[in-house]
Amino acid sequence: MWYSGKLQDKGDGGGSAALKERGEMDRAFQWKLEDIFADDAEWETTFNMVEGQLGELGKWQGRLSESAATLLACLQLRDAVEEVLTRLYVYAGLKNDQDTRASRYQAYRDRAGSLMVQYHEAGAFIQPEILAIPEEQLQQFLAGNGQLESYRHYLDNLLRSKAHVLPPEQERLLAMSGEIAQGPYHIFSMFNNADIKFPTITGEDGNKLEVTKGRYPRLMESDNRKVRKAAFQALYGTYGRWTNTLSATLSAAVKRDIFYARARNYSGALPAALAEENIPAQVYTNVVETINRNLTPLHRYMALRKRLLKVKQLQPWDLSAPLFSDVKFEMPYPEAVDTIRSAFHPLGETYLADLENSFRNGWIDVYENQGKRSGAYSWSAYGVHPYILLNYNNTLDDMFTTAHELGHAMHSFYTNQTQPYHYHDYTIFVAEVASTLNEALLMDYLLKQYQHDSQRKCYLLNEYIEQIRGIV
């Protein structure tokens, strides 16, 4: 609960030997999915409604060149169906991710995914038909209809990809393959979040501790090299026993990407992926080449790390070890929230007020629980506030992860407020600007706070280096 503007932390925070079940956790630190649908019954009702609307799309097939009004009506119907369908999918995905063992929400996720495939199948005719309209006629449509004009950028992007859009029946076949294409991801997700279990190790305090993906980063920052090694072997040793399964799953994903690239007449999976984001190949190759030309500072940093840790050879479990063991940054979630508030002050009063709303009103699912999806992300559906999944474990890195995901969430919040549905989304290439800015603001704030504390300042600078290494 909130008291006097501060969170009272009753979460797990990684303190117990075994993770808690979700029902044992403080709901003040859990997201409020009823902001999307009041309950599962409303989800079911909406699912049935959308399922019935899919047939309406087919009524426009063969008619898009008739007039600007006809084209506009089809695009608006498509967007209206997709907007509600996305809410169904996000609700199902968030419910599934909060406890991946729950068969009810595994089924919801699969049903929403199937409905999404049916939607793409029903609308497979739209892009080929638009591209069949003579460009001069399309420009006349745009000039004569103010509402259709709002789709100009969408249509420009579609024309840019004309060589890779297939005839309607072929587009329909590709859409039908969507559920099969999701297979590698869903197989890995179930394995990685619901099925896999890691052994217990002896922690720094001499007590037994269950290794989890949420606790792993904190264990790798232990001063005790034996603890770090035990945690590393517990995690990767477990994955290692499933090498063949994981390799086959990855191989299936790679073959899927190659198949779609070939089907759409791209020279390979990389050009296909870059084209989707409208990124020139030279940008990608320049990034890779620039990094490879500038590895010397990284090698010097690793040599310094080896010397400061006083080890004969750096091992994987040494790469996150603290170089300044006298400095401890214990960062409980309420304290992290206060720090983030202060760090984001340059972004202005409106941003801070909306940020406060995210903390107070169920946008964020904070702590790890049994069965919860690992990692962190921000996810949103148009017309509903964004959601953030964390597995917070009271570390400095967890605070930076929170700041990062808040960048994504606020980005989505503002695009949803200011853009029509067909422009509310953004590419991953753009997305990381907002999130990385938030991390930079937080680091700048902390460095100023500890400018007269040389040990903490060095600790933070090392954290900054690690953030850059992790991104690159």
> Are 11 and 366 within 8 A, CB to CB?
yes
How far is the C-alpha of 113 from the C-alpha of 182, rounded, in Å?
9
Other residues' Cβ atoms within 10 Å of the Cβ of residue 392:
26
Q: Quick one: how far is CA 259 from the chain centroid?
A: 25
- Amino acid identity, residue 412? S
Helices (H), 37-176: 40-58, 68-98, 103-122, 126-132, 135-144, 146-149, 152-160, 168-176
Residue 387 belongs to what H/E stretch? Answer: strand 387-392
The backbone torsions φ and ψ at residue 108, rounded to the nearest 5 degrees and listed phi first, read -60, -45
Q: DSSP secondary-structure letter at 313?
A: S
pLDDT at 472: 81
* Integer CA distances (angstroms), 467 to 28, 347, 397, in order: 30, 22, 9
Given a cut of 50, the residues of the chain with pLDDT beneath it are 1-11, 13-14
pLDDT at 16: 54
How far is the C-alpha of 435 from the C-alpha of 419, rounded, in Å?
20
Q: Exactly one of 405, 439, 463, 466 is catalytic; name it.
A: 405
| Model pLDDT for residues 21-48, shown as the tens digit of each residue | 999 999 999 999 999 999 999 999 999 9
Burial (CB < 10 A; 0-12, 13-18, 19+), residue 290, is exposed
Helix (H, G, I), strand (E, B) or coil at 81: helix
The backbone torsions φ and ψ at residue 91, rounded to the nearest 5 degrees and listed phi first, read -60, -50
CA-wise closest residue to 168 among 217, 131, 138: 131
pLDDT at 246: 98
Q: Quick one: how far is CA 103 from the chain centroid?
A: 23
* Integer CA distances (angstroms), 402 to 78, 97, 295, 392, 412, in order: 35, 18, 29, 8, 15
The full set of domains in the chain, from first to last, is: 33-181 (1.20.140.70), 333-471 (3.40.390)
How far is the C-alpha of 59 from the C-alpha of 129, rounded, in Å?
13
Beta bridge partners, 2, equal: 7
Hey, what are 40's tokens?
């599962």
pLDDT at 325: 82
pLDDT at 10: 40
Estimate the share of the chain in helix, then strand, then coil, as percent rounded to the nearest 5: 65, 5, 30
Residue 136: active-site member: no
Helix (H, G, I), strand (E, B) or coil at 389: strand
Integer-rounded Cα Rg, in Å, for the chain is 25
* Integer CA distances (angstroms), 286 to 61, 289, 433, in order: 43, 5, 19
